[in-house]
Amino acid sequence: MYQCQCQIIPDDVLKRWACDPALSEDLCKNADYSAKLSKHFRSIRLENKRLAGFLLENHALTTLTENPEVTLFDCRQTQSLPGTQIKDPFNDEDPTVSRTYTETDHLATFLRKVFKRNSIDNAGMTLMSSVHYGKKYNNAMWNGLQMIYGDGDGELFVDFTLGTDVIGHELAHGLTQYTLQLDYDEEPGGLNESISDCFGSMFRQWRLNQDATTADWLIGHDILGKTSRNRSFTCLRDMADPGGKHCLAPQPVHFSEIKSGMDPHYTSGPPNLAFCTACRQAGGKSWETVGPVWYHVITNAGQRPRMSMSEFATETRQAASELYGKESAVANAVHAGWQKVGL
């Protein structure tokens, strides 16, 4: 089984940079270091996923608070977690600290106002983040308990807290952890990554007050450094054009292109395109139209660790009909989205 990474940058992208003869020795070392460091978090995430599953199965989650607390820690470029706690992060002079606090708080508000959800576990879970993790660490991740943000090396990637979609994407892994409990291999893994991209993109659009037709649907646009941009990359992934050459990690477009053993960061391409297509056809704001359909499925289907993409497509079609009506614009848009990618 492909072990859960739950990080925004796939290992193979970092390894590709690490072997790039056109880059400086320092940039290659930073990329290699980031790829290797990410591996150490996998067993931790798996154990925390199992714990969350146990709590859900035994109905052991109780409400901590009605308004989730946001806490910030500074690792000061060490690998010591969680780091030193920052007592007043909102007013901190460090822009990374204040930005992380503000956007994480907005994410909690987004979940509460749009989906009536109390934090990612729906029980008021404290949203804890550690910033300035490692030296020039090229990644951001959810480790099953908290968020971890690297500063980037300034060339390939910049401060990972600059991407609201990155923040939303990684915290949405926590949302999946406390709902479907999707595994991280084959089709379930692709769905896992896609759900995070969908919620990350919706959060970015919500913060910018964009509708589905004017949004760019790019993932990771704000975290690319100048070296990446100089090679004509504009994003990590593009939900509207998964296979585009402007993507640092281009994905399959059609379900038939998915092959066994693919990294979930790539198999998420077809469901990403299905969601984006549905949102654009439905019109309006993604979080008010198709977003509630996706949320309804992940929060009402129970623990489905081996859910296939076909099963997810069927569930969303049914949910769209139940929420909006069988012949509604949203139901037709959801059907068209899945049909476009062969599901």
Q: Which residues are catalytic?
A: 170, 265
- For residue 118, the number of C-alpha atoms closer than 13 Å in the C-beta half-sphere is 12
DSSP designation for 4: P
- How many other β-carbons are positioned within 10 Å of the β-carbon of residue 122? 17
Between the alpha carbon of residue 271 and those of residues 24, 194, 214, 252, 290, the distances in Å are: 37, 6, 20, 10, 13
User: Before 292, cis peptide (omega within 30)?
Assistant: no
The distance of Cα 255 from the centroid of its chain, to the nearest Å, equals 20
- How many other β-carbons are positioned within 10 Å of the β-carbon of residue 32? 16
CA atoms of 255 and 267, how far apart (whole Å):
8
Between the alpha carbon of residue 115 and those of residues 13, 106, 172, 190, 280, the distances in Å are: 33, 13, 13, 23, 20
- 164: closest CA among 234, 222, 227, 229? 222
- Cβ 176 vs Cβ 195: under 8 Å: yes
- 207: closest CA among 67, 106, 104? 106
